[in-house]
Structure 1
Amino acid sequence: GDITIPCPLQCKQLAEHNFVDNIMWFSSGGTKSVVHTDSVDNINCLYRGEKTLYFVDPSVHRHDVLIDHPEGAYSGMDVDAVDYTKYPGMAKVEFYHVNVSAGDCLYIPYLWVHQVRSYDSNLAVNVWWHRYAKDDLDYSACNRQCNTEYTMAQAKFMGLETIQHDPNEVRDYFMTYISNDTDLEGFIQILVADDYDKIVNDTTYVRDFTEMFEMLDADKDGLLSLTDIKALDNEAWRAIGDLLELVMQDMEEEFEASHIDIDPDLDPDHGAAGDSDEMDLHDEL
């Protein structure tokens, strides 16, 4: 609580109404994260040690980096030895390479693909905030000079669960994973990943996913496209988000009762409804 709010984030409106979460990372070094995305804006401040981060712009390489675990917003690729047969798009990806030292803070943009490596003894703090806060932020009220006494204890953190029904977040979730000409089978595979074989034989889940698919299919041609996604209004996205949450909660409860291990975070915020969240999963030490 006595850690200073990072200087670029010292806006009262942001800190008291739009911060989502914060976490301290520490390790003895030699750690690495999976390739992943975050469903919030993010700043990583390093207090001890060294880090290397690799970034990929999703607007340029949206379909080249395969996020084959959408339930947790990460890729299963081996970051030390990429299988270019399984992940052929990686051969043409252009990326940014950033070295971070103690005393640096680095902004990690919303939904940018990234991977983190830490060296030696490390101590870092991440702060996540609501992506769409910028639309209503009064920048004139932000601190013009950094106040070292403006600490985390004075901020309010909403938690990921508070933004899971935001229609913008739900829309962005589907825009990330839906390609043009996605049929019902492909849609279900995107949402449930490795649990597809369990789900496709359950008529209740197939019915629910079919209903969701039909809600998304704006032009009713039996295929999902980005045009469909962009055509839906906020009311539709709220309804889709509500249905998605209910279905995934039912799946989690049923699989837990059957002692089947699944990733619990199959919602637009990749962790808002489960026992663990994307920050734990991605392990950005």
Structure 2
Amino acid sequence: MIKMLLLHTAIINISLICIFISIFTCECCSQESHEQTGSKNDLAGPAGHLKPLGSAKDKLPIDVVHQYLSPIDFFANYVYASKPVVFKGVAKTANAFQYWTDNYLADLPDSLSTIVDVEYNKKENRLDPSMDMSLTEFFNRYKNEDIYLVTDVPTHLRKDVPVPKSLICQEVLKKLVATVMWISNGGTKSVLHNDDVDNINCLYSGKKEIIFIDYKYRENVTLDKFLGGYSSVDIDEVDLLKYPGLTQVEFHYAEMSAGDCIFIPYKWFHQVNSYHRNLAVNLWWAHDAKMLPTPTNCGSPDLEMSLADVTLKDELEADIEIQDPASDMISLVMAGGQFSLSNLTEYFKTYPSLTSLTWTDECDRIIENIFRLMDNNNDGVLVKEDIIDQIETIEDKVEFNSNVIQDILLMENGQKLREELLQYLEKEKIDQTKKEEL
């Protein structure tokens, strides 16, 4: 009897132990499952995380026109409005569109002696070195290698590239700073970047897709490569946990076919993908919100020009008054001056080229960024000792932030000039109506 009682008690104890183990195991499994699910959710991130740039959002279209606009229309409605536009089919009459086959370009006598810049890796990495080779050698190699050409348009080819009619104005031509030729066998992908110039890009062969982000989203787009004005974000697998600002922006999209040209506004962020045998030329001009390209200022509206007819100036020589508050401020500090945050803010507010700027909270945040970059010991006073040992590492970052303030001013000035041009156009329209009535 005692044995039976002991056996019964043992069975009960074993059962209780099993139940306890079962409950504990389930709870652990549940906890582990929850942790794994949470981990997966973290990896999933926001919509579009680890996917191509802009893939999770509907993209806004870009304006399309089927002829070049007059300079006044172009600057009023696009340049000073800070708005991209596709000029559909306007480049099909160019010699570059009609004649620039690989054989034609490679066999020109000057191509053998013309040395061009060639980039490695069709997925752009601006840290990779470039190489030099003759234009003829490039055409013999590029279809079988992971290389593409990015170089100044060679002198002997410039006569084949017309200047876009929207830029044929004396006020504008003196601002032209560079022209670049791009050639690949397709599959190239640029980094996400912006440019310190305005740009018209004409495609003579292939197809391009361009994703844009308006410069108004500048606080949401991280350009962590200050010197080159680009982002290190992987455009094929965008890490939205590392770059959360990209979840807050609107994306615009443009598609180009051979014969199209596109205007890329000053400072707009963009990323370009190219397909098939791809050949394009772009023309950059210095963004200067002082030009009024009216018919009176522009000269003959029927003038035709090629790149061979224009003089390209260095950006710093393109008749623009250059003032650099960041460099001047650093020089003051290195000479023994000192700044508190409020002093630094006042310095920028009263800097001669910035006095007309509408100061905003964004401007305050930019000055705070500059101050934090330079105040090495975080004591609230910026002096020479704070920067003397780190000047080479912070100078680009300080200048980058300072330039944003100047960009905001240029945008404001552009809007003012846009209003002037629109008033001019409206007056011209009224005058024309009166003439027709008479």
TM-score bracket for the superposition, by shorter chain length: 0.5 to 0.7
Q: Does 1:234 align with 2:328?
A: no
CA separation in 2, counterparts of 1:209 and 1:79? Answer: 40
**Equivalent residue, structure 2, for 1:49:** 206
TM-score (norm: length of structure 2): 0.41
What SS is found at the alignment partner of 1:22? strand
Provide, for residues 227-276 of structure 1, a one-character-per-residue CA deviation record: whole Å limited to 9, x for no partner: 8644421399xxxxxxxxxxxxxxxxxx9xxxxxxxx99977xxxxxxxx
Would the alpha carbon gap of residues 228 and 31 (structure 1) be closer, same or farther in structure 2, given more than 3 Å must change?
A: farther
SS at match of 1:111: coil
Task: Give the alignment partner of residue 74 of structure 1, picking from 230, 233, 237.
Answer: 230
Partners of 1:230 and 1:126 lie apart in 2 by 36
Task: Show the counterpart of 2:170.
Answer: 12
User: Where does residue 312 of structure 2 map in the other structure?
Assistant: 157
Match in the other structure for 1:129: 285
Partner of 2:429: none
Say if 2:239 is the partner of 1:83: yes
CA contact (8 A) 2:179 2:283 kept: yes
**2:222 counterpart letter in structure 1:** L
Residue 245 of structure 1 is matched in structure 2 by none
- Name the aligned partner's letter for residue 284 of structure 2: W
The answer as to whether partners of 2:171 and 2:292 remain within 8 angstroms in 1 is no
**Cα–Cα, structure 1 residues 55 and 27, in superposed 2: closer, same or farther, change >3 Å?**
same
Structure 1 residue aligned with 2:266: 110
**In structure 2, distance between residues paired with 1:84 and 1:235:** 35
Deviates more, 1:6-15 or 1:84-93: 6-15
The TM-score with structure 1 as length reference comes to 0.60
How do residues 1-285 of structure 1 correspond to structure 2 at under 5 angstroms? 1-2=158-159, 3-15=161-173, 17-59=174-216, 61-132=217-288, 134-140=290-296, 141-145=298-302, 147=304, 150-162=305-317, 166-167=321-322, 170=324, 210-211=333-334, 221=342, 229-234=348-353
Give the structure with higher Rg (CA): 2
Q: In structure 1, what residue type is equivalent to 2:312?
A: F
Contact 1:46/1:104 (CA < 8 Å) preserved in 2?
Answer: yes
Q: Cα offset for 1:30?
A: 0.3
Return the offset for 1:223: 6.0
Q: How many residues align?
A: 205
Tell me which amino acid in the other structure corresponds to 2:285: W
List alignment gaps of at least 5 residues for structure 1: 175-190, 192-206, 237-254, 256-263, 269-285
**Higher helix fraction: Structure 1 or Structure 2?**
2
The separation in 1 between residues aligned to 2:398 and 2:299, in whole angstroms, is 35
**Cα drift, residue 132 of structure 1:** 0.8
- Tell me how far apart the structure 1 counterparts of residues 212 and 192 of structure 2 sit (CA, whole Å): 9
The 2-side partners of 1:11 and 1:46 are apart by 23
- Asked if structure 1 preserves the Cα contact closer than 8 Å seen for 2:316 and 2:322, the reply is no
Retained in 2: the 8 A contact 1:72–1:265? Answer: no
What is the aligned partner in structure 1 of residue 147 from structure 2?
none
One-letter amino acid of the counterpart of residue 309, structure 2: Q
Q: CA deviation at 1:116?
A: 0.7
Q: For structure 2, which runs of at least 5 residues remain unmatched after alignment?
A: 1-157, 356-391, 401-438
Preserved contact between residue 14 and residue 133 of structure 1 (Cα < 8 Å): no
Kept in 2, the 8 Å contact 1:72–1:266? The answer is: no
- Cα RMSD of the aligned pairs, angstroms, is 3.9
Matched residues in 1 for 2:344 and 2:243: separation?
A: 25
| Partner amino acid, structure 1, of 2:188 | T
Percentage of pairs with the same residue: 35
